[in-house]
């Protein structure tokens, strides 16, 4: 019998790419989403890419404990991958209650339902934001977590701790937290990708929207950082590579290969790229010129962060494969697909 994976927030950017890779690896998938930050493009794309028109989309809110219990009653779940959360850093500073209520309650409900249904494996979608402005680079999973600089970042830290404590108290629940660096790009089919509402906060959607003419000019936030070219350094990880890390982590849990009840892995490429380099590479790969200017630093940005990926490489048997050029081409193909080109 195929194992069934519940993908909470599975209609969104990361969730849709993970759903595709899970199905292609032979898993059954149940997508559940409250559709608060996406439309049906993601799930439709997943069905089209995989040819599986029967993939269920359960429209529900993970803050509704009774609804989460019902979901676990309706489907036997072997593992949960939990994406359902709010993710805008700036908004979380303005509306902390909204963020704490949503991101913490939904994960508590998942953990509670897992426990009430005899346990299951839980993969939590965490972030490199937990490292803050790290003193030593690259960061390993043993690098200190610094006090979060936003409620969003704090919810990632608290959810990691919730998973650690629940797995320690209940052997029927095992957990992995994946700390993502900067996920970018789109599926090679260009049928799914990032679909930001309103003005994008993140760099790549801003770049592609500027290139297509939806935005007049990209602002590069800060060129006076203590880096070679003065712009920030990040570890940009291809979305399909990132999705495949989830398959590796879920399989490790389901096959009982974990070394502890709770494990953490960095998911990145291990390679720092500056904002200026990224812009130049985007222009080169896609054969276009981008309108950009240097602007003030954005409050809350760290100078540099990139991953030590040795643990994920060794333990998950996973590594990022796609080149930055391929990834940037996929991001542009997706933007053009959205524009109907």
Chain contacts with ligand UD1 (rule: CB under 6 A): 89, 127, 129, 153, 182, 201-203, 206, 218-221, 232, 234, 275, 298, 300-301
Please state, in angstroms and rounded to a whole number, the distance separating the CA atoms of residues 17 and 241: 10
Helix (H) or strand (E) segment spanning residue 81: strand 79-82
Please state, in angstroms and rounded to a whole number, the distance separating the CA atoms of residues 59 and 67: 10
User: Min. distance of Cβ 290 from ligand UD1 in angstroms?
Assistant: 11
- Residue of 152, 180, 206, 225 with catalytic role: 152
User: Min. distance of Cβ 293 from ligand UD1 in angstroms?
Assistant: 10
| Closer to ligand UD1 by Cβ: residue 295 or 339 | 295
Please state, in angstroms and rounded to a whole number, the distance separating the CA atoms of residues 83 and 159: 12
Residue-by-residue DSSP string for 142-190: TSPPPPPSSHHHHHHHHHHHHHHHHHHH-TT-EEEEEEE-EEE---TTS
| Closer to ligand UD1 by Cβ: residue 218 or 329 | 218
Q: By Cβ distance, which residue is nearest to ligand UD1?
A: 232
| Closer to ligand UD1 by Cβ: residue 232 or 329 | 232
3-state secondary structure 2-42: CCEEEEECCCCHHHHHHHHHHHHCCCEEEEEECCCCCCCHH
| Closer to ligand UD1 by Cβ: residue 62 or 225 | 225
Closest CA relative to residue 48, chosen from 81, 4, 16: 16
User: Min. distance of Cβ 129 from ligand UD1 in angstroms?
Assistant: 3
Angle ∠(183,329,129) on CA atoms, nearest 5:
15
| Closer to ligand UD1 by Cβ: residue 219 or 313 | 219
User: Min. distance of Cβ 316 from ligand UD1 in angstroms?
Assistant: 20
Which distant-in-sequence residues (6+ apart) come within 8 Å of 255 by Cβ? none
User: Min. distance of Cβ 257 from ligand UD1 in angstroms?
Assistant: 28
Which distant-in-sequence residues (6+ apart) come within 8 Å of 243 by Cβ? 14, 17, 18, 20, 21
Residue 267, helix vs strand vs coil: strand
Please confirm, yes or no, whether 152 is among the known catalytic residues: yes
| Closer to ligand UD1 by Cβ: residue 203 or 285 | 203
User: Min. distance of Cβ 212 from ligand UD1 in angstroms?
Assistant: 15
Please state, in angstroms and rounded to a whole number, the distance separating the CA atoms of residues 190 and 44: 12
Active site (catalytic) residues: 152
């Amino acid at each position: 019998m195929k194992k069934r994976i519940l993908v909470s927030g599975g209609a969104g950017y990361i969730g849709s790419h993970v759903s595709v890779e899970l199905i292609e690896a032979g898993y059954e998938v149940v997508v559940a989403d409250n559709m608060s930050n996406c439309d049906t493009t993601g799930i439709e794309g997943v069905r089209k890419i995989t040819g599986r028109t029967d993939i269920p989309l359960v429209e529900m809110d993970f803050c509704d404990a009774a609804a989460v219990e019902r979901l676990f009653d309706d489907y036997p779940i072997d593992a949960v991958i939990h994406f359902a959360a709010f993710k805008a850093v700036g908004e979380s500073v303005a509306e902390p209650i909204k963020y704490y209520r949503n991101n913490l309650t939904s994960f508590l409900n998942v953990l509670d339902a897992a426990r009430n249904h005899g346990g299951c494996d839980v993969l939590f979608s965490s972030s490199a934001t937990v490292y803050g402005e790290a003193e030593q680079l690259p960061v390993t999973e043993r690098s200190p977590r610094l006090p979060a600089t936003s409620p969003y970042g704090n919810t990632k830290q608290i959810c990691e701790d919730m998973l650690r404590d629940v797995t320690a108290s209940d052997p029927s629940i095992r957990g992995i937290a994946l700390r993502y660096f900067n996920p970018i790009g789109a599926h090679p089919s260009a049928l799914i990708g990032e679909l930001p509402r309103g003005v994008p906060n993140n760099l790549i959607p801003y770049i592609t929207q500027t290139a297509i003419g939806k935005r007049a000019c990209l602002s590069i936030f800060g060129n006076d950082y203590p880096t070679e070219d003065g712009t920030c350094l990040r570890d940009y990880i291809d979305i399909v590579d990132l999705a495949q890390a989830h398959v590796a982590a879920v399989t490790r849990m389901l096959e009982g290969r974990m070394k502890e009840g709770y494990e953490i892995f960095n998911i990145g490429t291990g390679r720092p790229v500056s904002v200026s380099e990224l812009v130049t590479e985007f222009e080169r790969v896609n054969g276009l010129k981008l309108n950009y200017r240097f602007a003030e630093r954005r409050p809350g940005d760290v100078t540099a962060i990139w991953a030590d990926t040795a643990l994920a490489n060794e333990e998950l048997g996973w590594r990022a494969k796609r080149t930055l050029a391929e990834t940037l081409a996929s991001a542009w193909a997706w933007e053009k697909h959205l524009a109907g080109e």
